[in-house]
Amino acid sequence: MHYMLLIYREDAKLSALGEAGRSDLTGAFMAYVESLRTAGAYVAGDRLDLASTATTVRITEGKTQVLDGPYAETREQLGGYIMIDVPDLDAALSWAARCPGARFGTVEVRPILPVPGAVAGRG
């Protein structure tokens, strides 16, 4: 079963790590992803730029609105994702607990529901 690990972080905490701290974190993520690959659980993943670079689109009363920045006013913002293929929720939670992002933010685990009629991996 596919699960999405949504990795939330506080941009201020990430900036406060400094160059050496961010480099260490990148190394930890690279090792984590390699362990997912070795276990055959890795499907896809990427990090996201800071929330301040986001553009939000919504439609209100039939009119498209484009807004700079994230829509939600929260300290933690979505910083990246990793899609895994594991047997069950317990396995997904185990991988989430090992994610380096869990040490300085939050990792949300969600099952992925296939889109009816879509070819797997092609949305």
Convert the pLDDT of each residue in 6-16 to its tens digit.
Answer: 999 887 787 78
Question: Which tens digits make up the pLDDT trace of 69-113?
Answer: 665 556 778 889 999 999 999 999 999 999 999 988 899 999 999
Full domain range(s) for residue 80? 2-111
24 assigned to some structural domain = yes
Q: How many domains does the chain have?
A: 1
Q: Rounded to the nearest 5°, which phi and psi values hold at 70?
A: -70, 150
Q: Provide the pLDDT for residue 74.
A: 65
Residue 10 CA, chain-centre distance (Å), reads 13
Q: Provide the pLDDT for residue 76.
A: 79
What's the chain's average pLDDT?
88
118 assigned to some structural domain = no
Q: What is the CATH number of the domain that holds 78?
A: 3.30.70.1060
Q: How far apart are CA 95 and CA 10, in angstroms?
A: 21
pTM of the model: 0.81
3-class SS at 61?
A: coil
Q: How far apart are CA 48 and CA 46, in angstroms?
A: 7
Q: Provide the pLDDT for residue 71.
A: 57
